[in-house]
Amino acid sequence: MVTAADGEGSAGNGPERGPIRLLIVDDQALVRGALGALLELEPDLSVAGYAGDGAEAAERAAQLRPDVCLMDIQMPGVDGIAATRAVLAAHAATRVLIVTTFARPGYLRAALDAGAGGFIVKDAPPEQLADAVRRVHAGMRVVDPALAEASLFEGANPLTEREQQVLRLAGEGRTAAEIAAEVFLSPGTVRNHLSSAIGKTGAVNRAQAARIAADKGWL
């Protein structure tokens, strides 16, 4: 079930303005097509276009000026969080609904901070997905209740931006020296950031810290 909070208006108010125009953003073509076919079954929803990554999403938003953008989180290049900011910058009237497989509290907080109006998981029933689109379009904030509860108890992301950066690279198997060269810091400073991140995640080493942070949506 999807809950709505902190919004204004309702999905049923206002004059008739035609169908809600959608932009669907996902790096998997099958997922884009399936979501589009599903939502096109609703008489008040219409798919205006698709995008396969975050960079294309901003371009399509500027061209199509959709009412609601359904946004995936994990995509190559520009991820869904950065793409949400880019879409809103391209067309401020577009509302963004995150639709993702990854139900992680950290992603929820980051998405809402980026300006998303809602966050639901891809295994939500079709009628809930359509209802979430309508509610976000009406200016309401829609969040999967189980994820909202988890986010409440999880707390905010404890990692600084620099700690996230070096931990992400460490998770890819980079050494401290390699990370230092890439982020223009000394190896000692990199090790200090990694040590801090390990402590904040309760891990025993940098690899475990990267896994924990990724699982919580902190990276």
Greatest Cα-to-Cα distance within the chain, rounded to the nearest angstrom: 62
> If we measure between CA atoms, which residue out of 125, 119, 32 comes closest to residue 75?
32
Q: How far apart are CA 70 and CA 24, in angstroms?
A: 5
Secondary structure class of 55 (helix, strand, coil): helix
Equal CATH topology for 3-9+18-154 and 161-215: no
Secondary structure class of 215 (helix, strand, coil): helix
The pLDDT value given to residue 208: 85
Give 13's pLDDT tier (boundaries 50, 70, 90): very low
Question: Does the pTM of the predicted model rise above 0.75?
Answer: no
Residue partners of 141: CB distance under 8 A and separation at least 6: 4, 5, 6, 7, 112, 117, 118
For residues 18-34, average pLDDT: 93
CATH fold group of domain 161-215: Arc Repressor Mutant, subunit A (1.10.10)
**Interval 132-163: pLDDT, tens:** 999 999 999 888 766 655 555 455 678 888 98
Average the pLDDT over each of 53-62, 190-199, 209-218 and give the range with the smallest value.
209-218
Q: How far is CA 165 from the centre of its chain?
A: 18
For the record, the structure tokens of 156 come out as 């905010």
Strand partners, 129: none
Give 201's pLDDT tier (boundaries 50, 70, 90): confident
**DSSP letter string, 101-162:** S---HHHHHHHHHHT-SEEEETTS-HHHHHHHHHHHHTT-EEE-HHHHHHHHHH-S--S-HH
* b/e 2-29 (16+ beta carbons within 10 angstroms → b): bebeeeeeebeeeeeeeebbbbbbbbee
The pLDDT value given to residue 210: 86
If you average pLDDT over every residue of the chain, what do you get? Answer: 84
CATH of domain 3-9+18-154: 3.40.50.2300
> If we measure between CA atoms, which residue out of 136, 116, 119, 139 comes closest to residue 8?
139
Q: How far apart are CA 100 and CA 29, in angstroms?
A: 14
Residue partners of 200: CB distance under 8 A and separation at least 6: 158, 159, 163
Domain assignments of the chain as residue spans, ordered by start: 3-9+18-154, 161-215
For the record, the structure tokens of 77 come out as 């290049």
Give whichever of 77-81, 101-105, 213-217 has the largest mean pLDDT. 77-81
